[in-house]
Amino acid sequence: MAKGKSASLRGLGAKYGLKPRKKFTAVHRLLKTKRKCSECGSSKFGREAVGIWTCKKCGFKVAGFAYDVKI
């Protein structure tokens, strides 16, 4: 049975087995989630580096977690 591959699974391929791939997918999805800047409300808010989250519109910078930010 041919199953459609999720786009977010790309980049890891069939390597590493199922468990890490599932983890990767969950983390990747969390990472790519659109977030709103708490300063200007723009959705251009994203991770700049591990633990550093910035808004590309107003430059608002906040320290958060590696893959997610809770503000």
**Given the rule CB under 5 A, which residues bind Zn ion?**
37, 39-40, 42, 55, 57-58, 60
Provide the minimum distance between the beta carbon of 47 and Zn ion in the complex, in angstroms, as a whole number: 14
Instruction: Give least dist CB 45 to Zn ion, A.
Output: 6
- Which CB sits closer to Zn ion, 26 or 40? 40
H/E/C letters for each residue in 42-55?
CCCEEEEECCEEEE
Residue with tokens 């700049």: 48
Nearer to Zn ion by Cβ, of 40 and 71: the residue is: 40
Q: How far is the CB of 63 from Zn ion (least distance, A)?
A: 16
C-beta closer to Zn ion: residue 24 or 60: 60
Please report, for residues 52, 61, 66, 69, the alpha-carbon distance to residue 44 in angstroms, rounded to integers and kept in the order given. Answer: 14, 12, 18, 14
Helix, strand or coil, per DSSP, at residue 49: strand
